[in-house]
Chains A and B, each alone.
Chain A
Amino acid sequence: MTKKFVLGIYDDEDVLLQAIENVRAAGTNIYDVFSPYPVHGIDDVLGIKRSRLPIVAFFCGLFGTSFALWMQIWMLGFDWPMIIGGKPHIALPAFIPVTFELTVLCAAFGMVITFFIVSRLRPSIKVNVFDKRSTDDKFVMAIEVKEGVTDLSALTGLLRSNGAIEVNQKEVIK
């Protein structure tokens, strides 16, 4: 199925932010905005909710802590207890470094893997960018065209009047 999009091209982040606010105020639904770098404040104007990835990191880290402690206590305390330097079998202070490292390892990898999955980031040679300049120096606002509903000329006018340097159309096979 092909979907049609109108692309507003901007070349300044402040103009873009203002434009997003105005376009949304005019009742138009923005499909997505593509930028060469993270634009501060874009989350607020686009209404993007705060990412829950820190929560993922926290629970992955918690798993790392518990796993590391369980592993060390079970291995040295129960499975094969050994006297090392006359210290207790379960010498908790000595277990802190490995516990800490595994906490960090699990938190980091758990969060990053989740980030790759939810953002659909994976190695692939097929690329679907709307406008190749959006990874260079342009900001691209994509608005989906609904047949019979969207007034193309009015939309183009709205984008132009809000500082778009170009307004293009693009069909994408979804």
Chain B
Amino acid sequence: MQHVSPIREPLVTGGKTYHDITEDVCRQVEAKPNARWAAALAVALVGLAIFIYSVYRTLWFGIGEWGLNRTVGWAWDITNFVWWVGIGHAGTLISAILLLFRQKWRTSINRAAEAMTIFAVICAAMFPVLHMGRPWLAYWVLPLPNTFGSLWVNFNSPLLWDVFAISTYFSVSLVFWYIGLIPDFATIRDRATGPIARRVYAALSFNWTGSAKAWSRYETVSLILAGLATPLVLSVHTIVSMDFATSVIPGWHTTIFPPYFVAGAIFSGFAMVLTLMIITRKTFKLEDYITLEHVESMNKVIILTGSIVGVAYITEFFIAWYSQVEYEQYAFINRATGPYWWAYWSMMTCNVITPQLFWFRKIRRSLTATFIISIFVNIGMWFERFVIIVTSLHRDYLPSSWAMFSPTIIDIGVYVGTIGLFFTLFLLFAKFFPVVNMAEVKAILKSSSGVHHHKHATMHGTEKELSTTNTHHSND
């Protein structure tokens, strides 16, 4: 056990016991789906249908269905790809980096955030694969022996690094998430009444018993996975940014990109976590587990990363001027005042100005304000990628080939469709999987719930013996 200062706000409120945690989290897994959930799923399935139709059009008629042209060869697809990958950064950040920093507030949000990560990366992967035009040849990106005289892939290319980075990130996040789920599946299995539920959760729980030795190994594995996932999560968006930074396009060829993209990814990821968690805690009545303290902590991360992103925008401008490179300067002036000025200023407003409101404690702790700002950040971060990609490309070196980009209905369909895909997956997860990590919340219950603080305080005076045992075991 570990000592937590009594002036810290409790992370679990409402005087919960271990059994209450099990009940509160298992309730929606065991209950029949309610109408609100079914309605939400129906809307998500409409989105999924749009996705399937748009993908069918893209594959059947080719990527000519998209609004790309010879000047703007990358637009919505890569914007959406980077946007989704960025959103996918919060989950692993919460579960890995916050684990290493011993931030206990991560315990009740890490499960849903990691699920979000996995689904966001699935959505992200759709875009480069579809952009290939012939996705059935997607395996060509892997270094497999082939009939072209074994012509290998180009390991010097950031696009290939992306293949390795995204697939590693996806599989390691999936494993990390699943390991955390095993003990909770065991809890559901041991409560299950129906024969099908019992068998399914028994298979999912990998025969977990919760023996001391298994827990000891589980903790070691979690810690090492966190250590591995921490540089991994930073590497993924670094490599994504290198897709741009290693090119010679003015507006892309910038050394600031890796840290700037990583900060932006965390920024957008936390915004999406907040959007989802504010709805989830309300729908599943998890207000005692995802408290205002949690929301405030996430808002603090948003204000930090949002400010880093703001400084990066300004630095880009400064460097464009300072470099004295005409093309670089034009790229940035064109961004702010050219035909896409509205996209640039939407980005600036949503990403730089709105998160600064979180300096006010009242706004940081207001659910309505947080929800609205988190939506703004999601929109702003989409525009950031759009601005970087489209404004840098649409006016290239030859004014004769300058062009504008406008999305087709299929472009919009694929994008809206991935949102449908994402919410379909998330709603299924929220219904059938425990949305809060029960085992980890139980582990912090004694040190971080309001009830035990009082108990602890009275114990100190009366039972000396017990408190010495506590300090003896404080090897957390």
**A residues in contact (CB < 8 Å) with B:** 13-14, 17-18, 32-46, 48, 50-51, 53-54, 57, 61, 71-72, 75-76, 79-80, 82, 84-85, 87, 91, 94-95, 97-98, 100-102, 104-105, 107-109, 111-112, 115-116, 118-130, 132-137
Contact = CB atoms under 8 A, between A and B. Distances in A.
B171 A109 contact: yes
Interface residues of B, number: 77
B210 A121 contact: no
B191 A136 contact: yes
Nearest to B169: A101
Interface of B: 1-2, 17-19, 22, 143, 149-156, 158, 160-161, 164-165, 168, 171-172, 175-176, 179, 182-183, 186-187, 189-191, 199, 202-221, 224-225, 228-229, 231-232, 235, 239, 242, 438-440, 442-443, 446, 466, 469-470, 472-476
Contacts of A85: 156
B216 A48 contact: yes
B175 A112 contact: yes
A41 B472 contact: yes
B156 A91 contact: yes
Nearest to B2: A40
Given A34-B211, A97-B164, 16 more contacts: A33-B211, A36-B210, A36-B439, A38-B219, A39-B215, A40-B1, A41-B1, A53-B221, A54-B224, A98-B161, A105-B172, A108-B228, A119-B214, A129-B190, A132-B191, A136-B191
A34 to B, nearest CB: 5
Given A36-B442, A121-B206, A46 B221 contact: no
Give the residue among A33, A37, A102, A132 with the most B Cβ atoms within 10 A.
A37
Contacts, number: 222
Contacts of A71: 143
A135 B19 contact: no
6 contacts: A36-B210, A37-B439, A43-B212, A119-B217, A135-B190, A135-B210
Give the residue among A40, A115, A119, A135 with the most B Cβ atoms within 10 A.
A135
A66 B50 CA distance: 45
A104 B199 contact: no
Nearest to B211: A32
Contacts of A104: 168, 172, 228-229, 231-232
A130 B209 CA distance: 8
Contacts of B209: 34, 128-130, 134
A101 B22 contact: no
A130 B210 CA distance: 10
A57 B228 contact: yes
B165 A97 contact: yes
Contacts of B228: 57, 61, 104, 107-108
Contacts of B206: 116, 121-124
A82 B151 CA distance: 10
Give the residue among B199, B203, B473 with the most A Cβ atoms within 10 A.
B473
Contacts of B466: 14, 18
Nearest to B215: A38
A41 B473 contact: yes
Given A97-B235, A135-B190, A105 B168 contact: yes
A94 B155 contact: yes
A9 B464 CA distance: 25
Contact of A38 (B187, B216, B225, B469): B216
